[in-house]
Amino acid sequence: MPDQSGSPAILRDRKTFRQRSARIALGVVVAGSLVVAGCGSDDSSSTTTSAPAGTSDTARNAPAYAAGVEAAVTKVMKDNAIPGVVVLIHSPEGDWATTFGTAEIGTDTPMRIDDHFRVGSNTKTMTSTVILQLAEEGKLSLEDPVSRYIDGVPNGDTITIADLSEMRSGLFSYTADLGFNQTLDEQPEKAWTPQELLDIAFSHPVNAAPGTEFEYSNTNIVLLGLIIEKLTGTTATQAFEDRIFEPLGLTESLLPMPDDASLADPHSHGYQFLTNVETIDTYAVPKAQLPAALDGSLKPLEYTDANPSWAWTAGGAISIPEELATYVEAMVDGDLLGPEMQKVRMDSIREMSTGAGYGLGIAQFGPMYGHDGQLPGFSTFMARDPKARTTLIIGTNLSASPVDGENAAVVVAKAVMGVLYGGSVSAGDPAQAGSTAG
C-alpha cells in the first residue's frame, strides 16, 4: 500500500487527533466527566429500563437533562417495541451516558455503554470523508465523471463524484432488488463482492438523470469505495484505518473485510421485525400484526450474525458509542479535512422532503449534523451541534420501528432532541424507508 506519511497534512492531523483523543480520555478518567448511570461494576454495563438510571451518587452527578432523557427514551422504547438502547451525550452541561432495556430478548442481560454496533449508513460519511481527503490531495476532483475510474456505469460519463456522494446519481440501489433480498434471507452468511452488487444495480434502468433528484442509493457509495481502492492502492478497510480510525485513536472501530461477519464483544443481539423480502417496501409491521409486535407476542427475527458485506462502504462499519462520538465530532468540527474542503462539504447540504438535509456524505438534523445508520439487527444515530458543542449518539438493537418503519435509533434520537432542545427541533431520516437501508 502507498505510504501516506509523505503528506504533511496527514502527519499534522494525526498528531492533532492523538493529542485530542488523549485529552478526551484524560477528562473521562480523571475528572469523571462521563457519568455512566448505574455503573457499579467493572463490566461497563449500565442501567436497564426496569431499574431507572441515575441512582445514588450518579443521580446527584447527572446533568439536568438526564431525567428528561430517561423518561423520553423509556416511553419511545415501549411505544416502538425497541429491546435495548444506548444513549451517550457530550454537552457543556455535562457528559452523560446510560443504557436501557435488554441485550437479548427474553433475558435481563443489560446493554453496555461499550457495546459494539454495526453502524450502517454512518459508514457513508466515512467513505465520503476519504473521497474528500483524496480530492484535497489532488488525486481526484469532485466534478470528475465516474467513468474516469469505473467502467460500465450507466450514465457514467455524466455522473460526477459529487453526484455519488450527494445521492444525486439517479442510479438504482441494489438493495431494492427483490432477488437480492431473497438471497439475503436464504444465505445470510454470504460474502458479497462489490461487483456482484453493481451487477444487480446495473441490471435495472436508472431512476433519474444525474444531478436532478435526491434518491438514497447504496450503489453510489459502493462505487466510491471502489474509487478509494483504485486511488489508494489498498483495501477500503485499510484506507479507513489509515485515514480515519488510526489518526483519531479509534481502536474499536473498523470496516470489516467481506469474509468477516464477526462482531467483537461486548455486543448485544440484533433484531428486525420480518424478513428482508417482507420489508422491501417498508419496515412497518402490517396493521393486523402490529398489536402483537407491540405486546411482545410477535417476536422480531435475530440478525446478529448476518454477514454485512452487502453494505460494504455504504454501511458495513462497526464502532462503539464513545468512538462514534469522537468520530462525528471530528467530522463536523472540521478535524478530518482542511478548512476549504470542510466548507465545501458543509455548504453542499440541501434540504430534503424528509425534513433532514443532505450533502457530501453528511446529513443535517435541525442544528445537528451527522448521519444515521440501519442494518437488519441494529440502528444507530450520530450527530453534533457545532454551535452548542453538543453530541448525541444512539445505538439500538432493533433495525426499525414496527409502527411506521422508521429507523429505531432515529425514533429515539427525536425524543432525546426534544428534551435537549425543548421540543423545538425535529430530525428527519435521510434514508428512505424500505428494505436494507444500509
Pairwise CA distance, residues 270 & 377, whole Å: 4
User: Is 431 a domain residue?
Assistant: no
Q: Kindly state the average pLDDT of the residues 246-264.
A: 97
User: Is 316 a domain residue?
Assistant: yes
User: Is 93 a domain residue?
Assistant: yes
User: Is 57 a domain residue?
Assistant: yes
In this prediction, residue 77 has a pLDDT band, given cuts at 50, 70 and 90, of very high
In this prediction, residue 29 has a pLDDT band, given cuts at 50, 70 and 90, of very low
In this prediction, residue 46 has a pLDDT band, given cuts at 50, 70 and 90, of very low
Summary mean pLDDT of the chain: 87
Number of domains in the chain: 1
pLDDT surpassing 70 at residue 116: yes
Q: Give me the pLDDT at residue 180, please.
A: 98
List pLDDT tens digits, range 416-425. 999 999 865 5
Per the CB < 8 A criterion, the answer to whether 327 and 319 are in contact is yes
Pairwise CA distance, residues 289 & 227, whole Å: 44
Q: Give me the pLDDT at residue 431, please.
A: 57
Residue closest to 193 by CA, chosen among 295, 316, 285: 316
The percent of residues in the chain predicted with pLDDT above 90, rounded, is: 81
User: Is 27 a domain residue?
Assistant: yes
Residue indicated by cell numbers 463482492 = 193
pLDDT surpassing 90 at residue 7: no
List the grid coordinates of 105. 430478548
pLDDT surpassing 50 at residue 273: yes
List pLDDT tens digits, range 345-395. 999 999 988 778 999 999 999 999 999 999 999 999 999 999 999 999 999
Q: Give me the pLDDT at residue 352, please.
A: 86
User: Is 115 a domain residue?
Assistant: yes
**Better pLDDT: 306 or 46:** 306
* CATH at residue 207: 3.40.710.10
Per the CB < 8 A criterion, the answer to whether 272 and 379 are in contact is no
User: Is 430 a domain residue?
Assistant: no
Measured CA distances, 228 to 193, 232, 237 (Å): 15, 6, 10
Q: Give me the pLDDT at residue 61, please.
A: 82
Q: Kindly state the average pLDDT of the residues 160-179.
A: 98
Range of the domain at 248: 7-420
Residue closest to 234 by CA, chosen among 362, 323, 130, 379: 130
Max CA distance (Å), the chain: 63
φ, ψ dihedrals at 7, nearest 5°: -95, 115
Per the CB < 8 A criterion, the answer to whether 94 and 424 are in contact is no
Strand order of the β-sheet with 34-36 is 34-36, 95-101, 84-90, 390-396, 378-385, 368-375, 363-365, 357-358, 350-351
Pairwise CA distance, residues 219 & 146, whole Å: 12
* Contacts with 248 (C-beta within 8 Å, 6 or more apart), sequence order: 17, 21, 323, 326, 327, 330
User: Is 433 a domain residue?
Assistant: no
Indicate whether this model's pTM tops 0.95: no
pLDDT surpassing 90 at residue 55: no
Among 24-38, 147-161, 221-235, which stretch is predicted with the lowest mean pLDDT? 24-38
